[in-house]
Structure 1
Amino acid sequence: MAEKNPGDLEMARDFLRRASAQLDLDPALISELTPHLLGLTKRVAHGVVRPAAPLAAFLVGYAAAQAGSGQAGALSTPDAIAQALVAIAGIDDVVEEADGQA
């Protein structure tokens, strides 16, 4: 197993800050959801199959965008954050079902 580089998390945070700025996203929102999304992608990668992990994260973002009705800045509303967390929990249920079938 490869050793984890202690600087990886800081490099990831820096990347997310720059990507958020490029996409005109609220960095506080990204920071708040990052641990939840990392946990989700880990559970999907290990409980279902690795290629499904980034796609599950996309689905959560898509669900949050729909909750915001596509309005500019709507993804930073408490309702959209709550919707993203609900979507994460829903995908966790699907992971458990898939893991139980394996």
Structure 2
Amino acid sequence: MSDQRHLPPEALDEWTRAACAELGLSRADVDISLVLDLARDIAHGVARPAAPLTTFLTGLAAGRSTDPDAARAAIAKVTALAEEWDA
């Protein structure tokens, strides 16, 4: 038996609801597809280890903003950065 755990796609929403509840966040504020697309774009455009780091940094930036659209704006900024990245 593998030590790795895999979350089936149908369980992702359940996990998101549970994590939001634990963190005191509203599930309505989380766009799962947008976050997954961000992680994919960073993993493919920069490097796989950059994906979780960038999603954390993006969330941190959005959380510090008073703009209700801060998450989308932050995601757009780092996605554009990844598209231009050539390191």
Q: TM-score, normalised by structure 2?
A: 0.84
Q: 1:57: Cα distance to partner?
A: 0.8
Q: Could you tell me how far 1:52 is from its partner in structure 2?
A: 0.5
Q: Secondary structure of 1:25's partner?
A: coil
**Structure 2 counterpart of 1:27, one-letter code:** R
Identity of aligned pairs, percent? 40
Q: CA deviation at 1:22?
A: 0.8
Match of 2:4 in 1: none
The secondary structure found in structure 2 opposite 1:91 is helix
What is the total number of aligned residue pairs between the two structures?
Answer: 81
**Aligned residue in 2 for 1:18:** 18
Task: Look up the equivalent residue of 2:50 and give its one-letter code.
Answer: A
Counterpart AA for 2:47:
V
Q: Which has the higher contact order (CA 8 A, sep 6+)?
A: 1
Unmatched tracts of structure 2, length 5 or more: 1-6
The residue that corresponds to 1:97 in the other structure is 84
User: Partners of 2:52 and 2:79 in 1: how far apart?
Assistant: 14
Query: Which letter maps to 1:43?
Result: D
Deviation at 1:90, TM superposition (A): 0.4
Normalised by the length of structure 1, the TM-score is: 0.72
More helix by share: 1
How far apart are the structure 2 equivalents of 1:93 and 1:64? 16
* Cα drift, residue 17 of structure 1: 0.8
Task: Within 5 Å, give how 1:1-80 maps onto structure 2.
Answer: 8-30=8-30, 33-68=31-66, 79-80=67-68
Q: Give the Cα separation in 2 of the matches to 1:48 and 1:88.
A: 15
- Structure 1 segments of 4 or more deviating over 3 A? none
Paired residue for 1:4? none
Partner secondary structure for residue 42 of structure 2 = helix
Return the match for 1:87 from 71, 74, 77.
74
Give the Å deviation of 1:59.
Answer: 1.1
